[in-house]
Amino acid sequence: MENRSLDALGLAEVPRDHPLRYPGAWPRESALLDGNHLLPLDHLVHADRTPVLAVGSNASPAQLRHKMAEFGITSPIPMVRARVTGIDIGVSAHVSRFGYVSASPFDAPGTVRELFVIWLDAQQLAVVDASEGVPLPNGNYGRAWLSAPEVRVEPAPGTVLPGVCAYVNRHGVLHDGTGPGAPRRHPGQRALLTELLVGSARLRKLFGVTPEEFCARARADRRLCERGTRLFKDEKRVTASGLERYVRVQQTGSPGTGSSLAPPLT
């Protein structure tokens, strides 16, 4: 029998513990995350769950498993690879306390990406909301509902979801400097940090001159992360994602169920 453990599949590394390899390893195909294993998935649409678009480490099985373990959640999570039109992966305009600069979606009409949709029950959704800071008034992300046809999500040819949730950064995203408000695409953590440090003497003063120094200093100092986030704004690196209009007053859990959790004290 094939060994479907995360270790055997090369998917066991948690991005929170290895920030330079953020967003972590993604599966090659749709699967059911069940504990430490990725199992075959018998269907791609789960009407009793909330579909959440993963553009960063939420598509890493190890990161998902780690988030759930913080709250003692062990129920399986369907992870569905889908063709997504209308969204691209940008750079969050904040420095994470885990030592990386994370990914955030931005409005990109006509752009097609292969991304994962994770289908969450009410408890799982509350955990991921908490990890993204959704319940907090000063949290980094708000949860948005992106409806078709503005965002087209196809888990299989001929199957289009009516919509999908996504986490939109409340700080905005970083722009690429090529035009008014054009968001920067996330190139991977090491490349991103190298580019950011080369481009800002003030950022180097705060976080050092190498990606390794950046990660080490950010992980050790929450206030330093906040200073880095403010610096992005001060240096006019920030633009809107174009998705802010979809963020509503946060509903707790899935519609009509449960309540959001407080973030873990880590």
Print pLDDT tens along the chain (266 aa): 689 999 999 999 999 999 999 999 999 999 999 999 999 999 999 999 999 999 999 999 999 999 999 999 999 999 999 999 999 999 999 999 999 999 999 999 999 999 999 999 999 999 999 999 999 988 999 999 999 999 999 999 999 999 999 999 999 999 988 766 799 999 999 999 999 999 999 999 999 999 999 999 999 899 999 999 999 999 999 999 999 999 975 544 433 333 444 444 33
**Largest separation between any pair of C-alpha atoms in the chain:** 56
Task: Write down the pTM of the prediction.
Answer: 0.91
Asked if residues 254 and 50 have their Cβ atoms less than 8 Å apart, the reply is yes
Return phi, psi of residue 97, to 5°: -65, -10
CA pair distance 65, 9, nearest whole angstrom = 15
Give the pLDDT of residue 195: 96
Question: In angstroms, what CA-CA distances link 43 with 59, 80, 117, 125, 154?
Answer: 18, 9, 13, 20, 13
The angle formed by the CA atoms of residues 43, 49 and 54, to the nearest 5 degrees, is 85
Task: Judge whether 139 and 132 are in contact, CB under 8 Å.
Answer: yes
Per-residue pLDDT, 248: 76
pLDDT for the residue numbered 180: 66
d(CA 180, CA 205): 28
Could you state, in order of their start, the residue ranges of all structural domains in the chain? 6-246
* pLDDT (0 to 100) of residue 76: 97
Contact 260, 254 (CB under 8 A): no
**How distant, in Å, are the alpha carbons of 71, 98, 184, 201, 219 from that of 212?**
30, 13, 22, 17, 11
Domain 6-246 has CATH 3.10.490.10: yes
Rg of the chain (C-alpha set) = 18
